[in-house]
Structure 1
Amino acid sequence: MKSGRKLENKDYVLVNQRPIIDLLIEGEVFQYLSGSDIQSLGKKFGVTDVGGSRWCMLETIFSQLHVKGMTEKFLKYFFFDMNINGVAKEVIRDNTFNHPKYDEIAEITEESQENNRAVAKFLRQKLLEKVNLELSISDKKLIAVNNEIKIVDYDSEPEIIASTTEIINNEYINDLLEKSMKSLIEEDFDSVVTKSRTLMESVFIQILHENNVPFKENGNIGQYRTSVNKTLNIKPDSNWNKDVLNMITGLNKIIDSISNMRNNNSDAHGSSNRVRINSSEAELILNTAVNVSKYYLEVNARKKLRRKVV
């Protein structure tokens, strides 16, 4: 009789090694985990018979999790769901007394919900980087996408959900997309934000040019979007269905958010208030920009087709 259990990627065995276990339990980035802390972790995932030294406990947990096909679920919890607010507060206190542990976030010197969350996010990324340094010896790495953990080949490229190449007949835009991917792979996340914003701006400009719509090229993406929405007849109207209105409003908010992220976080501005983003957020921003661009280009293509038919 075949088991209904899903077989886990065999590469997760690589997580169960002493250097990585030490990173998870010794408190170098996250909090120090006592024996009882580790036992409690195991119980959350149905592993109860653990003993020995602390690192042996986690080694046993990882072994049983792999058999159960639950290593990925455990790592998701450890990196994203486990409460590390206490460590984040300690980092902020060290910053306050001018003893920063991490220069990258040394400017955060006051506790607040927003600051604590930003520091915790940084610590999660820092731990992921350290784990990946160990995994790189085996040509593997963990990637975080939308708060999910996956193990992949070390040289694998981030996945772009949608491609615009089949509908963008513009060498500049295609080149921009390739450069965005390169920045993402090289972990130049601020540059990804800038290029994502520029991608949408370039698509708006292309649509306005194709439809012979006069406009002022002043870099105001909000004005471009308004003109494009009017040109493509997707400007919100009170007679529209409520859900459709909400969808278009949400689309506008997405565009505004990426534009604002570019203004505040990109490589084009040295703001002291910037909040650093990690790889998963950069990938989300680029994917979103690609999908927004694809949506507008497809609507424009349909509009041109209807004109030909008429």
Structure 2
Amino acid sequence: MGQETFLILNQRSVIDLFIDGDVFPYMTGNEIQNLGIKFGVGNLSGSRWQMMQTILSSLHNENDMTKFLEYFLLVMNINKAVKDVIKNNLKGEPPYEQTDNIFEECEKNNRYIAQVIRQELIRRINLELSVSGKKLVYNGNTFVMINSNDQAKIVADTSKIIDDDYIKKLLDNSKVDFNNNDLDSIVTKSRTLIESVFIQILQDQQVDFKENGDIGQYRKKVNLILGIKPDNTWNHSILTMVSGLNKIVDAITDMRNNNSDAHGSSSRVKIQRAEAELILNSAVTLATYYLGINNRNERT
């Protein structure tokens, strides 16, 4: 893959998304000049969009282009856009459904809003690229172009079992993240999916529990109330299966703690598409299994 793969970005509709302020902050001519200098492109002239076009045209190889995209889409300061989201929320005009309940600034809120804004810009860029059958995605290491029809393969179907709107939305957002190659988010959402299912079961069964995020404690209570707490009367194969389920939950939880978008450690292992798909499908399969047993118990 060479620079020509990214030339599709150098079109007016995409450049306008970069600089016009609909998603990211509006960029003045001086700010575009400074951006060019940062990437070794000086003496820019013409309108704002022409200057940005010159910058993109001057990035001579794939490495330069991906460095630019990583900076612009993942690193560049977008605090003004974050503040605008909170201002609009306070006015009752939330621009994003995911952040419509955030009304004050703090590090956690600002970081989350910035993530939503960055994803929205990439989504809009990909709408412009869709005519060409391509989309821009971040694979955990760098930006790449992939075919726009690449889709997540979800093995299990929970639509007939999961009746909680939050869990449904969480699963739908996981599929969107996968298709946008936002792979780190898959880990967090997969873990949250399992946690949410455990909480739903405990609430359905009217079990007292402390909602503290301890997924291990949730699991113990769920296994007990559903009658799947292993003991020495169980068939060996069933014991092995339940032990495997517990290991899957532990693995996803551990991956969330070390690999997900919730932590910024530079030492964490980069998640690739195959592993992200495995994690998501494992979480969906576990959710289906536990909710299926819960529904069966409620009918008896």
Structure 2-normalised TM-score? 0.58
- For residues 110-155 of structure 1, what are the alpha-carbon distances to aligned partners after superposition, in whole Å with 9 as ceiling and x for unaligned? 1110000010000000000111011111111101222621112212
**Residue 198 (structure 2) pairs with residue 193 (structure 1):** no
**In the alignment, is the contact (CA less than 8 A) between 1:80 and 1:147 conserved in 2?**
no
**Residue 284 (structure 2) pairs with residue 289 (structure 1):** no
**Residue 25 (structure 2) pairs with residue 28 (structure 1):** no
Q: What are the equivalent positions in structure 2 for 1:83-102 lying under 5 Å apart?
A: 83-102=77-96
Within 2, Cα distance between the matches of 1:251 and 1:285?
A: 12
Match of 2:13 in 1: 19
Within 1, Cα distance between the matches of 2:116 and 2:155?
A: 31
Match of 1:153 in 2: 147
Within 2, Cα distance between the matches of 1:211 and 1:290?
A: 28
Structure 1-normalised TM-score? 0.56
Within 2, Cα distance between the matches of 1:157 and 1:175?
A: 12
Secondary structure at the aligned position of 2:59 is classed as helix
Match of 2:117 in 1: 123
**In the alignment, is the contact (CA less than 8 A) between 2:85 and 2:94 conserved in 1?**
yes
Q: What are the equivalent positions in structure 2 for 1:271-310 lying under 5 Å apart?
A: 286-287=276-277, 289=279
**In the alignment, is the contact (CA less than 8 A) between 1:76 and 1:147 conserved in 2?**
no
Question: Structure 1 residue 216: deviation in Å?
Answer: 11
Match of 1:242 in 2: none
**In the alignment, is the contact (CA less than 8 A) between 1:176 and 1:195 conserved in 2?**
no
- For residues 56-78 of structure 1, what are the alpha-carbon distances to aligned partners after superposition, in whole Å with 9 as ceiling and x for unaligned? 00111111114575112111111
Match of 1:254 in 2: 254
Within 1, Cα distance between the matches of 2:135 and 2:252?
A: 35
Match of 2:44 in 1: 50
Which residue, out of 48, 65, 83, partners 1:71? 65
Q: What are the equivalent positions in structure 2 for 1:188-267 lying under 5 Å apart?
A: 193=190, 211-212=236-237, 214=239, 224-225=246-247, 253-254=253-254
**In the alignment, is the contact (CA less than 8 A) between 1:39 and 1:50 conserved in 2?**
yes
Question: Structure 1 residue 287: deviation in Å?
Answer: 4.9
RMSD: 4.7
Match of 1:3 in 2: none
Q: Report the CA distance shift for 1:31/1:281 in structure 2 as closer, same or farther (over 3 A).
A: farther
Within 2, Cα distance between the matches of 1:76 and 1:285?
A: 22
**In the alignment, is the contact (CA less than 8 A) between 2:156 and 2:281 conserved in 1?**
no
Aligned residues: 219
Within 1, Cα distance between the matches of 2:155 and 2:277?
A: 16
| Structure 2 unaligned blocks of 5 or more | 160-170, 198-218, 220-227, 262-269, 284-300
Match of 2:200 in 1: none
Secondary structure at the aligned position of 2:14 is classed as helix
Question: Structure 1 residue 94: deviation in Å?
Answer: 1.8
Question: Structure 1 residue 211: deviation in Å?
Answer: 4.9
Question: Structure 1 residue 157: deviation in Å?
Answer: 4.3
Within 2, Cα distance between the matches of 1:284 and 1:119?
A: 28
Within 2, Cα distance between the matches of 1:186 and 1:288?
A: 14
Identity across aligned pairs (percent)?
31
Secondary structure at the aligned position of 1:39 is classed as helix
Question: Structure 1 residue 93: deviation in Å?
Answer: 2.0
Match of 1:305 in 2: none
- For residues 86-110 of structure 1, what are the alpha-carbon distances to aligned partners after superposition, in whole Å with 9 as ceiling and x for unaligned? 2102211221232322233211111
